[in-house]
Structure 1
């Protein structure tokens, strides 16, 4: 009798790159929905523009490198990079901000190092930092949430604002923009106010800023879904949140008038987005089990240090890029012992 034989591997992998990326995109939906509700459709315009530019840039570079275009674009890695960068930008950012950031992320931060799997830095965060350092005025113009905004923009107004940088007649940018909760705390502390006094301002909600805490909740929900689906491991998110919360708790215990509650830092800014969607990037993060915990703790600690004593109120992008630098060393010193060999 003739038996059929097949080559290994005999077990098919459960996840492929495109399936993982698709589930990451699905997990982002609750946070994006909350951003759209509280801050307007500008985030959807930015996402659409970013995805189109990312796919065109990826296809162009692949063509120049002589690599297959169709199969690579289908892995959705460029789309994930585009969406992560787009939702990190102010919703009223002009179109050229998005284009410059995406081109840098795809062409320089990703393909200059060899493409997916070879880039040492998170492409979306590299693009974000370039924009923040180069164009601080545009990158710090955040729209007031719907609960505090006094002007309603329709679809045409949004398109004119993003693509022509024009507002409706008799409306100034200062009317529709405001400082983020993190920036507000930082500025008001510099003016001599205490944290309890600052938290009475209208911009703050139950835990963090109005609108912002719901956006964070959306990303937390999506992150928990990724954990449940085993798309990401628990070590980096838990380590990041623990590192940030531990630093915040110590400082709050020392002086509650000068340092905000740990819950504020855990909900404010890009904490949840960074913990579940950015720091967990499998290419640029530490890979060993213990290494991922250390990696997360390091990023969480750096987020707090830069927020409180550094020059940038949010700091997630800078902390992640610094963490990327340390990932190879962390993996080297946390390698698991090979079975049968002494430690």
Structure 2
């Protein structure tokens, strides 16, 4: 099977030789490092911009970097030191933070998959693997990622051309309100595929190959209703006990994601998928990141975008995100903007 150069070249889910891993590009190549967003060709971007940019209104999708004062999973807090340099009248700043402490892209180095998923041994995949029983996108090994200076599947490859295309917003907050569904984003709640399919019709969502799927469940809104002190207590709980709302993972959902050929998945949720995933063999962090080269965007600020989409009745837009250009980087702030 030849390496695809457009979304039209991708096989269907049923045609995938291995449902959990599709690695068509040369190991260590820039094309491998770009993953699914690399199929957004110049012609595709030009056509998408012409179709989607109408008013020119721009809406930022990234939380202020220091807003999440107590990041989850024990991650480092944001710190900024603004200071004079050389002489008065000139300032520099030194910023220390974890790019996954707020709005973030999970790059392909972030999460491996159990090797059992490659062999099709789901029982083996569901067992907690040892360190040497994981593999990353393209077959990248833990040793390659841990080797200083090795750039393979690092975030810089996504920075070279950006994660840019047509975004489509699924505003589950609005849908849940209309249908009498209640939940907390910081308790385990699963958004089922049936609700997404219902939203496609109810909100007249026109899905196209290469779309950037954006799901708003209200996690950023809910975060802002609590005090820093309450989040300080939450941040102290062990990482393995963190729970959050998100997509209900299943093979049916994976089939839908693949056959729609989304090039990225974005949410304001803590982990895109409900966390922890109920079945590791269908976890998005395993299959989308390590298996298919689909980056995951988490804790995006989609609130203002949702208001504008509801006001206009149009839920697609031009999506522009330029990651940090850090060779060998694992993650990045999104630096994302929706242009309508």
- TM-score, normalised to structure 2, is 0.24
Higher relative helix content: 1
- TM-score, normalised to structure 1, is 0.24
Greater Rg over alpha carbons, structure: 1
Higher relative contact order (CA 8 A, sep 6+): 2
